[in-house]
Structure 1
Amino acid sequence: MALFVVHRYRGDEDNDLEDHSQVLLRQLKERVRARQQQKQQQDDHMPAESGPDNEMPDLDLEKEAKQKSKKRKQTEESPFIEGQRKRKKKLSTEGGEGVEEKNDDLSPRRNKTSGKESKTPQGRTDGGEGSEIKLASQLEHDGSAGEKEDGSEAGANEIHGEKEEMLKSPPDPKETPPPPNTIVLGDWVWKAAQKKKVEPLLPRWLAEPKLVQRRIKENVVPLQDVPVIHPKLRKKLQANGIESLFPVQAEVIPAILESGFLAGRGGYQPSDICVSAPTGSGKTLAFVIPVVQALLDRVVCRVRALAVLPTKELAQQVTKVFNIYTDGTGLKVVQLTGQKSFAKEQESLAEETLMGFRSLADIVVATPGRLVDHLQQSPQFSLKELRFLIIDEADRMIDNMHQDWLRQVVAAAHSAVEEGSSTPQLFRRAEQGPLTAARAGCPHVPLQKLLFSATLTRNPEKLQPLGLYRPRLFTPISSEEKATETTKKYALPEGLSQYYVPCNLRWKPLFLLHFLLRLKFSRVLCFTNSRDTSHRLFLLLRAFGGVNVAEFSSRLNPRQRKLTLKEFEQGKIQLLISTDATARGIDIGGVKCVISYDAPQFIRTYIHRVGRTARAGKAGLAFTMVLKQQERKFLKMLREAGLPELEQQLVKNTSLQPLLPQYEEALADLQKIMKEERAEKRS
């Protein structure tokens, strides 16, 4: 195998060198071919005897060799060429590799990397080893060797044909040449390796989840088929018009109830539960029913269930459901979201007696920030007997660990000794671990985590801070899907129809008005990416007229938000413009259509937006307005998430023309209103 050394040169360009080398090699090839033809003709026409005429070709070759040798000496007289030769010799000596010139080792890759253009006339090469006379002799040697070996002209032509193909064929654009200033051993042969998709190595509980049917209508389970539900709660469910459970509820409720209160099945600590199910599939009821049933027989009031949610509106909704199913049971539910003063929330948690503080709450529903405030500033707020920790919208809670609330909750739950007392509690809490004789000797209250989300992450690194103990994952699957595909896809509501609307930025409000006025859409929930965009769109549509529109954002106080949602559910508001604050978990009844005025930037945002409609197995529409420059990225995002391809909904310009004059007037009014608002802020 030949050894090649890649030499360094200064001040010259690779492209020019490659052009000069190609010209030189082409000339040499033509000379060799002409010489072979001349020799062949002489062999055919001249007699075999030796004579003065037969020696003429040798004399011509000798004369030509002398001329080339003279040119070579003239080239060597250049100090620049001499300096290059010295550098080449030094580099080859340092690398410990000899330069071996062989015709079989010539390739376009070597010609590109083995030298640079010199300041000599065209048709010459740099250095002794790369000179014209050397290359010519090599080509001649290969040609004569081929004739001797094959005994015919075909052998020589075949060899020279291969050389010509090697010298003239351009490099494959897919090939990547070796980096400069490196040593290459042997011929440079590169083959594009096929990229193989690397499958993630997941823990067993993520790789093999418990599968739940995604289609709701075809897989509802009657209440009598779930005997683990307490008769009191069954009556309450029927009183609220619930005669059957959704597939997620029918699987998750028994899984939580089988853990018992002090220990799980067989005396072991109960496993943590993770549920990833589509929006509107009944996840809230899936944890409310088992938690309430587990606490029905409690004697002393203590905080034994804590539900943490990302927004105040979602916390209010969960509190409302808890109050429905704890009514008449003696269990007390307290909400910590900042809607009341801090002192009033402290009073609702506990009261002071002669024996110390007495808890007034069995179930606490809180947002992370307010929860941390009470853990740090409310000594009467104790989590030492906490049994259930419920994390709803778990993916968002994982991404936003506000004030490290989870670590503080776990620390407060595992403080087993009362302050100022040397006597341990009867049901002290032990750290998570395997069941041993020492642990079984004294009963303890386990802390079980219940995670729920429509877009629960499958990344073990993100789930690791939660400290899950032998978790079990419940995830949906359709009858036509394979079990191996469930961990790669997000779940969407069953009756959802999705479309995207190509549009331009200037006329985007006209597209929205077209849906409301021409297509007569009602109870439409419209999402924007910012609070300012939501407010400007609200003012523009109100100035246009003909649409009963309202906005829902942080500009409104909690009372105004609650009133706005109530009016929207009653059908008094046709269009509700909102930021993504309402996209998380809030169950707004009667939403028939969701329009994303601004295309979502993340797939989870899209999942939660369209999940506000088509809930509980009902039908719903979802439209996303996409600018031309956003279309490719948006569709790629959905495709990579494994979602079905969206249909394109085109709106003709002729449908928008009648709205244009009134739209221009509304824009003028919007400018005046914005100026007035800015003036009010300055004053």
Structure 2
Amino acid sequence: MSESPISFSKLNLNQQLVETLARLGFEQPTTIQEKAIPHILEGKDVLAGAQTGTGKTAAFGLPIIHNLMMDASAEDREASGKWIRSLILVPTRELAQQVFDSLVSYSEDCNLHVVVAYGGTSLNVQRSNLRNGADILVATPGRLLDHAYTKTIDLRRTETLVLDEADRMLDMGFLPDIQRILKKLPAKRQTLFFSATFHDRVKKLAYQILTDPEEEQATPSNSTASTVTQIVYPVDRKRKSELLAYLIGSRNWQQVLVFTKTKQGSDALVKELKLDGIKAASINGDKSQGARQKALDDFKSGKIRALIATDVAARGIDIQELECVVNFDMPYKAEDYVHRIGRTGRAGNTGLAVSLLMRDEEYLLKAIESLLDERLPQEWLQGFEPSLIEESESERPRKRQKRSAEKQKMKSKLNIHRNRGKRS
């Protein structure tokens, strides 16, 4: 006989907070919330494996808000100023804004000061918001250090540190910044470490900064959500964009997030899809923050059907009930596959992850399957069957050089014959 679902009230959260969650439509905690919240309320360090879409923001956000509500010393911060009581570090601007928005909604009935700080926006506005410190500060590492070095904030009394998407922060080269930030924090604090994947560098950082942590997993480490159906379609390079357009049209996908490996590739694919009558836009590192935000807003509102993104630009994107994710190019890092497809099949919804596989990308697929410890199903689509021999990306320059050399050789022979004719 199965147990009845647990409610938020059973997790010993503040009743006012439980009522706010009910008004927001949150009735039952997700797996990671049910597992992590009791440990955090007890003041323990937590090492949590949680992908995007598992409810991890609430998993650390709700108990932090609860503890702040129950702490009568909130007035002390107003008197002293500049103190940051809870610090949440995230890898990207987009994720910082999303976490901030969620925490503001959870704490709307509380007398808490929540601030967000990230690059690309006014330092002066952020300084003004931080004039009296903050109960919760959500920040990217670089911008946090800007404020710390100019003494806008003081981290010496920070009670709780959260590293959200820790694996992403390491992949983006933030380890030196994180180490600088750790030196500014008190040794005695609560640390919460959330990551979708756990490669060696992530584990090393976690064990360095956590003290006797409780370890919890929303899903097995380095795994994908069970709600996501995965399929691989082998196809020749020259027919990739044609196949993508066919799938979007024939399957009537209204909202598909497509990953490419380069910025140039994302822009080129947008042009190809538009020629096929599919509204698309790209987000990549060459786009301004405003252009990226407009493309994302148009995608969420349904004005465009396909959003083409690179891994870097897509970090932090949060789209509820995303229908489908497509790997137009296979990722170089197997962990990126987990992050990519974790954007669909969220919060109990079903999702679809499609990979378009060229012959010279098969080694990348093997790395993904090794990480996941499972074979991904493959299917040849009628009319798009791959040729038995497809020239790889590395073969193309060699063939061009060979053809050029042959042409030069023929040209030399012709010149010799012409010169002989002139002499005779």
- TM-score computed with the length of structure 1 as normaliser: 0.52
Aligned match for 1:493, one of 211, 225, 232: 225
C-alpha contact (below 8 Å) 1:603/1:641 kept by paired residues: yes
Match of 1:156 in 2: none
Unpaired stretches in structure 2, ≥5 consecutive residues: 78-82, 387-424
SS at match of 1:292: helix
Q: Return the alpha-carbon distance in structure 2 between the equivalents of residues 278 and 537 of structure 1.
A: 28
The answer to whether the aligner puts 1:343 opposite 2:124 as a matched pair is yes
1:280 CA drift (Å): 1.4
Q: Which amino acid aligns with 1:623?
A: V
Distance 2:143 2:179 in 1: 15
Query: Is the 1:499–1:649 contact (alpha carbons within 8 Å) kept by the matching residues of 2?
Result: yes
Per the alignment, in what secondary structure is the counterpart of residue 395 of structure 1? Answer: helix
Q: Residues 597-636 of structure 1 correspond to what in structure 2 (within 5 A)?
A: 597-631=328-362, 633-636=363-366
Q: Which residue of 2 aligns with 1:243?
A: 27
AA matched with 1:367: T
Matched, 1:452 2:194: yes
Task: Assess if the C-alpha contact under 8 Å between 1:493 and 1:617 holds in 2.
Answer: no
Report the equivalent of 2:370. 640
1:548–1:496 Cα change, 3 Å: same
> In structure 2, the residue corresponding to 1:616 is in which secondary structure?
coil
Matching residue's letter, 2:157: E
**Who is 2:415 aligned against?**
none
* Aligned equivalent of 2:383: 653
The CA distance in 1 between the partners of 2:201 and 2:183, in whole Å, is: 25
The whole-number CA distance in structure 1 between the counterparts of 2:238 and 2:118 is 40
Superposition pairs of residues 325-364 of structure 1, within 5 angstroms: 325-350=106-131, 359-364=132-137
1:224 aligns with 2:9: yes
Name 1:286's counterpart in structure 2.
59
Offset at residue 524 of structure 1 (A): 0.6
- How far does residue 639 in structure 1 lie from its aligned partner after superposition? 3.0
Structure scoring higher RCO (CA < 8 A, sep ≥ 6) equals 2
- Residue by residue over 1:413-454, the C-alpha shift from the partner in whole angstroms, topping out at 9 and shown as x without a partner, is 23xxxxxxxxxxxxxxxx4xxxxxxxxxxxxxx311111111
Q: Can you list the C-alpha shifts for 1:615-647, whole angstroms capped at 9, x where unaligned? A: 01111111111111222x134213322443211
Preserved CA contact (<8 Å) 1:553 1:579: yes
Q: Give distance in 1, aligned partners of 2:365 and 2:178.
A: 36
Paired residue for 2:395? none
Shift of residue 518 of structure 1?
2.3
Q: Give 1:662-677 correspondences, 5 Å limit.
A: none
Q: What does residue 24 of structure 1 align with?
A: none
Could you give the per-residue CA deviations for residues 5-24 of structure 1, whole angstroms, max 9, x where no partner exists? xxxxxxxxxxxxxxxxxxxx
After the TM superposition, which residues 424-503 of structure 1 pair with which residues of structure 2 at under 5 Å, given as runs?
Answer: 431=187, 446-457=188-199, 462-463=204-205, 466-476=208-218, 486=220, 489-503=221-235
Quick one: structure 1 residues 499 and 254, their matched pair in 2 at CA, closer, same or farther if it must change by over 3 Å? same
How many Å separate the matches in 1 of 2:322 and 2:134?
A: 34
Alpha carbons 1:249, 1:282 under 8 Å: kept: yes
Offset of 1:461 from its aligned partner?
6.4
1:380 — aligned with what? 152
Query: Matched residue of 1:506: which SS?
Result: helix
Counterpart residue number, 1:538: 270
Alignment match, 1:274 = 47
Cα shift readout 1:632-683 (whole Å, capped 9, x = no counterpart): x134213322443211132222799xxxxxxxxxxxxxxxxxxxxxxxxxxx
Cα offset, 1:469, TM superposition? 1.3
TM superposition shift of 1:507: 1.2
- Could you say if the C-alpha distance between residues 462 and 610 of structure 1 is closer, same or farther in structure 2, counting changes exceeding 3 Å? same
Cα distance in 1 for residues equivalent to 2:384 and 2:354: 20
- Equivalent residue number for residue 65 of structure 1: none
**In 2, Cα distance between equivalents of 1:403 and 1:457:** 14
Q: Aligned partner of 1:300: which letter? A: D
Do the aligned residues in 2 keep the contact of 1:406 with 1:466 (CA within 8 Å)? no
Equivalent of residue 242 in structure 2, options 486, 489, 510: 510
What is the root-mean-square deviation in Å for CA atoms of aligned residues? Answer: 2.4
Q: Secondary structure at 1:615's aligned position in 2?
A: coil
Identity of paired residues, percent? 32
**Which residue of structure 1 aligns with residue 85 of structure 2?**
304
Report 1:542-581 matches (<5 A). Answer: 542=274, 544-581=275-312
Q: Deviation per CA, 1:451-490, whole angstroms, max 9, x where unpaired?
A: 111113366862267422112211245xxxxxxxx5xx52
Q: Check conservation: 2:49, 2:196, Cα contact below 8 A.
A: yes
Q: Go from structure 1 to structure 2 and tell me whether the alpha carbon gap of 1:461 and 1:364 turns closer, same or farther (over 3 Å shift).
A: closer
Q: CA deviation at 1:219?
A: 8.2
Tell me the CA shift for residue 585 of structure 1: 4.5
